[in-house]
Amino acid sequence: MHLAYPAVLAVLLFCVGVYGVLARRNAILVLMSVELMLNAVNLNLVAFDVWLSRAAEETLHSGQALTLFTIAIAAAEIGIGLAIVLAVYRNRGTSDIDRLRDTAEAHESPTADDSDAATTGTPTTDGTEKAEATA
């Protein structure tokens, strides 16, 4: 079998993964697209390992060993990533990436003027007095 067949398949898998990361709005689908990209890399590692082992007299199978490490890292990544997505879904009620980014930008940090007014007990613009901060 030629090296071109698995290489073309790996390129197609990687392109589908990149499209999924860039176009999807659901965090779980983005994680699945990252997994597709990692699987494309694994396919390339194994294909080049087989191709290079035919040319070399000593076969080390380093590509297959790297694939096992990549699979282990991908399993840990998907476990942690899925736990984070589930925690965000429980807190926010959505896993839509754009809506999560919008809610994060809506919570702005207080400015220096607001923090000074809060510590001195000065009246605000709406007529109410802010309480003094006791530390």
Residues 49-67: tens digit of each pLDDT: 888 887 776 777 888 889 9
The pTM assigned to this predicted structure is 0.68
Q: What is the pLDDT of residue 75?
A: 92
Whether 96 and 28 have beta carbons less than 8 Å apart is answered as no
Q: How far apart are the first and last CA of the chain?
A: 73
What whole-number distance in Å separates Cα of residue 39 and Cα of residue 13? Answer: 8
What whole-number distance in Å separates Cα of residue 82 and Cα of residue 28? Answer: 7
69-79 confidence digits (pLDDT tens):
999 999 999 99
| Among 23, 17, 20, 21, CA closest to 43 | 17
Mean pLDDT by 10 residues, the chain (135 residues): 92 97 90 94 91 76 88 92 91 83 64 53 55 52
Whether 30 and 77 have beta carbons less than 8 Å apart is answered as no
What whole-number distance in Å separates Cα of residue 1 and Cα of residue 7? Answer: 12
Provide the sign of the torsion angle of the four alpha carbons 107, 31, 67, 39, taken in this order. negative
**Cα–Cα–Cα angle for 20, 36, 48, nearest 5°?**
135
Q: What token pair was written down for 40? A: 């494309």
What whole-number distance in Å separates Cα of residue 72 and Cα of residue 66? Answer: 10
